Amino acid sequence: MRLLDALYAKAAGRPLALCDANDVDGIASAALFLRRHPDGIVVLAYPTDVQRGRWVRWLRWSFVADLPCPGKADLRADHHVTNRPCAAKEFYDPEAPASALLALKALGLSGDPVAEQIAEAARQTDTANIVDEAVRDLDLAVRYASYGEKLLVARALAERGLKALEDPAIAALVERGRGLAAIVDAIASAIPPRRVLAVYSPVKLPISYRSLAIALQKKGAVYVNIFVRLGRRRYRLYCGAERGSEFDCTKIAMAMGGGGHRYAAGAVVKAPLLDPERPLRAFLELAAPDVLYAIGRCPSDIKTECVSIRYDEKGVQPIGERTSAELKS
């Protein structure tokens, strides 16, 4: 679908944007592009798609936002310290709170009330400082949306700003997000407050792990690393660090092949064919936690002390500390 959309844009001579699919900042940037170019085509992608996807690098993009540069771009807006500039015209500032704020200027939309509202929503979500309930609803809608649903949200935002939340289709996304957010809150409540936390999810749950990291930080954690097993050989890292703290999420993220910001970063890791547990061992070595909290069953072959948090449809509850030796007995 994404490649076909991009090829259609090229064939039709329409502006083509590549924006981050991860969160509100990327979707807001896409919405700003569509507000500037109503006839434009948006392709959403993840950083790993840009880093590893050959077809993304074959094309020249009119606009890129909140992503690594694909190699050929006319205009790019980004604030990730780990992403090198390469577009013909760059609006790049690692100190900016959101890429959408840079996109606002890059696309010449400063002073447009709807565009300003969209960019402000991105700022609140990307700094984890949401003060507007409408922005909170937007965040819930986007975090759990499918690819097509995210495109729907982007185009609706471009036309109506946050009033798009009144659309029944988007309101339904918000309600779904609220239900899943309740699971995040339950899991966060089951994990004891600690200054430094490491969490392992042996199975990918239908939740936002970024939201879980934020929830744990609100409980008092200063540095949170969440490692999620996506499949037999694929894992994903989510890191969150308190602003002003001594911790730097880019260090662990880059060590695992990813990137991001000092206070929020991540990585997608693929294990060797014959050693599917290697990324978990690397994670534990880099994070060096005193205790690992597992959402589900603790890994059976680790030396780190582990607390298992049982997750099921009825909620979550801690089921005690167990070491790898105890698990093998």
Predicted confidence (pLDDT) per residue in 77-120, tens digit:
999 988 888 899 999 999 999 999 999 999 999 999 999 999 99
Residue 317 pLDDT: 55
CATH of the domain at 318: 3.10.310.40
Domain match, 158 and 232 both: no
Residue 301 pLDDT: 87
Residue 181 located in a structural domain = no
Domain match, 198 and 267 both: yes
Choose one of 166, 200, 227: the last residue of a domain.
166
pLDDT single digits (tens) 173-201: 999 999 999 999 999 999 999 999 999 99
Residue 321 CB neighbour total at 10 angstroms: 13
pLDDT single digits (tens) 235-289: 999 999 999 999 999 999 999 999 999 999 999 999 999 999 999 999 999 999 9
CATH of the domain at 30: 3.90.1640
Choose one of 166, 198, 233: the last residue of a domain.
166
Q: Are strands 259-260 and 234-241 parallel, antiparallel or unpaired?
A: unpaired
Name which of 99, 74, 93 is nearest 19 in CA terms. Answer: 99
Please state, for a pLDDT cut of 90, what percent of the chain lies above it: 87
- Structural domain including 32 reads 2-166
- Share the mean pLDDT of the chain: 93
Domain match, 308 and 216 both: yes
Residue 172 located in a structural domain = no
| Alpha-carbon span 190 to 281, nearest angstrom | 24
Per-residue pLDDT, averaged over 126-150, amounts to: 96
Domain match, 86 and 153 both: yes
Check residues 123 and 193 and name the one with the higher pLDDT: 123
Residue 43 located in a structural domain = yes
Residue 323 located in a structural domain = yes
Residue 82 located in a structural domain = yes
Domain match, 16 and 73 both: yes
Residue 266 located in a structural domain = yes
Residue 195 located in a structural domain = yes
Q: 165 pLDDT band (50/70/90 cuts)? A: very high
Q: In sequence order, what are the beta bridge partners of 43?
A: 18
Residue 182 located in a structural domain = no
Per-residue pLDDT, averaged over 35-44, amounts to: 98
Domain match, 264 and 197 both: yes
Domain count, the chain: 2
Asked if residue 142 lies in contact with residue 24, where contact means CB atoms within 8 angstroms, the answer is yes
Q: What is the pTM of this model?
A: 0.85
